[in-house]
Amino acid sequence: MDIYAIPTIAERLQGNTYPGRGIVIGRTADGRNAVAAYFIMGRSANSRNRVFIERGGEVFTEPFDASKVEDPSLIIYAAVRHYENKLVVTNGDQTDTVVEGLKAGRSFADALTAREFEPDAPNFTPRISGMLTFGKGDFTYDMSILKSIDESGSACARYAFSYPSKPGLGHFLHTYVCDGNPIPTFQGEPERVAIGSDIDAVTEEIWNALDENNRISLFVRFTDLATGRTTDRLVNKNQ
């Protein structure tokens, strides 16, 4: 087995009906763009009743039908925010925790010490987070997962990962291994994935790899490393 082989996102997701929510961060194969992607899936009516909305370069989850919202606490949040030379993407309201921590001079990992996994027993959904830090013509990125240390949610295990950017390489972090009851939590370090150079092809690859019944929304951003110009794609199942 080649430990340095880089599967595509489609290969990573093949046959997986429910990886949950997922973050992909990396660099395009041509080296020109930083890539950040975030998708959400849902099994319950409450989880499926969502869309992504972009405002001022930031992305928020909002109810598709406000009259059907059962519990907004874990499904409505800012998913993508920016601060100075950093772009933060997470699967919950810890996006705000990270941004406020950065404003106070704290690091990405340090800011997240204030948070833990979601209180949705028996699943105890992990909080997954990512941050891109841009420099002159380059960037680095951090990823984090906060998850229950056992089946009873007795304590939080915290894992942080830091990466240089390499053309064609990305890392993929998702909340669950696959579907189940309870749903099994993601294991190990973020998965290596191949990143293409065309934003529409990358968007299509991720969206088509997600189970048609459970996929809800997808956001993809390319940031030109020479100019800082951003190009976004947003896909919502609920239109």
Q: By CB neighbour count within 10 A (0-12 exposed, 13-18 middle, 19+ buried), where does 233 fall? A: middle
Confidence of residue 82 (pLDDT cuts 50, 70, 90): very high
Parse the chain into domains and list their residue ranges. 9-236
Q: What is the pLDDT of residue 58?
A: 95
Quote the CA–CA distance of 107 and 98 in Å, as a whole number.
8
Report the phi/psi class of residue 84: left, alpha or beta, with left for phi > 0 and alpha for psi in -120 to 50. left
Q: Span 9-236: which CATH code?
A: 3.60.20.20
Q: Of the given ranges (56-65, 67-76, 135-144, 228-237), which has the lowest mean pLDDT? A: 67-76
Sheet strands (E) in the chain: 22-27, 33-41, 50-55, 58-63, 78-83, 86-90, 127-135, 138-148, 156-164, 169-174, 191-194, 215-224, 230-236
pLDDT at 1 over 60: no
User: Strand order in 78-83's β-sheet?
Assistant: 50-55, 58-63, 78-83, 86-90, 127-135, 138-148, 156-164
pLDDT tens column, 103-154: 999 999 999 999 999 999 999 999 999 999 999 999 999 999 999 999 999 9
Question: In the numeric block, which tokens belong to residue 109?
Answer: 């990992």
Record the tokens describing residue 131, joined without a space: 């941050």
Band of the pLDDT at 65, cuts 50, 70, 90? confident
Note the pLDDT tens digit of each residue in 6-50.
999 999 999 999 999 999 999 999 999 999 999 999 988 878 889
